[in-house]
């Protein structure tokens, strides 16, 4: 992939955190000393990833392989509407035809997409689009369960609810993934 180039002004992140503390009257309290810089460093860690970590390197397949599935991979992202954390569980799979990739690459694909603060619906579709483009597989699947702090922290109903989104190339792979996820209806 390699195209992850986040142009981020980290000083502005520290400034805006300072503004937030001023707005909420926490600015001069002891516990908040150094918070703007700490918050800035936290975001630096999140965004400062080597784009080469996300290259997928498809390998030519010499023999038939069955379903390849990353099951229940947990990774954290942020929702674009509230900038609050979302805990995602990913089920990403494909049935190789001409190419395959290492299993860890499926996790990296998810991590890569999370750096763009996607809506969960778009995240699901964009992962399958990427799989389809680079692997031209026989089938592909992406199902995601998301625990959104923006809804868990606010409101009364559905506090513990997870949001489920999915995108499947066909019924066969869909049924297999759903039975693995224990969500078959």
Q: What residues have CB less than 8 Å from 7, skipping those under 6 apart?
A: none
Lay out the sheet containing 68-78: strands in order across: 68-78, 85-95, 139-148, 163-168
Measured from each CB, the residue nearest to Zn ion is: 150
* Chain residues that interact with Zn ion, rule: CB under 5 A: 79, 81-82, 150
* Least distance CB 177 / Zn ion (angstroms): 26
Q: What residues have CB less than 8 Å from 124, skipping those under 6 apart?
A: 142, 143, 144, 165, 166, 167
* Least distance CB 116 / Zn ion (angstroms): 15
Of 4 and 150, CB closest to Zn ion: 150
Of 96 and 146, CB closest to Zn ion: 146
DSSP-assigned beta bridge partners for residue 168: 141
Of 86 and 177, CB closest to Zn ion: 86
Q: How many CB atoms lie within 10 A of CB 71?
A: 14
* Least distance CB 22 / Zn ion (angstroms): 25
* Least distance CB 119 / Zn ion (angstroms): 9
């Amino acid at each position: 992939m390699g195209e992850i180039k986040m142009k981020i002004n980290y000083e502005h992140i520290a400034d805006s955190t300072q503004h937030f503390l001023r707005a909420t009257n926490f600015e001069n309290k002891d516990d908040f000393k150094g918070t703007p810089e700490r918050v800035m460093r936290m975001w630096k860690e999140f965004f400062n990833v080597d784009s080469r970590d996300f290259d997928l390197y498809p390998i030519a397949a010499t023999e038939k392989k069955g379903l390849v599935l990353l099951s229940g991979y947990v990774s954290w992202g942020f929702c674009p509407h509230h900038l609050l954390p979302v805990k995602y569980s990913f089920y990403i799979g494909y049935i190789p035809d001409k190419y395959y990739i290492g299993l860890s690459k499926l996790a990296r694909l998810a991590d890569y997409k999370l750096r763009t603060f996607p809506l969960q619906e778009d995240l699901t579709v964009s992962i399958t689009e990427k799989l389809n483009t680079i692997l031209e597989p026989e089938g592909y699947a992406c199902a995601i369960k998301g625990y959104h702090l923006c809804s868990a922290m606010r409101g009364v109903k559905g506090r513990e609810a997870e949001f489920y989104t999915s995108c499947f190339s066909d019924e066969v792979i869909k049924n297999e993934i759903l039975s693995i996820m224990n969500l078959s209806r």
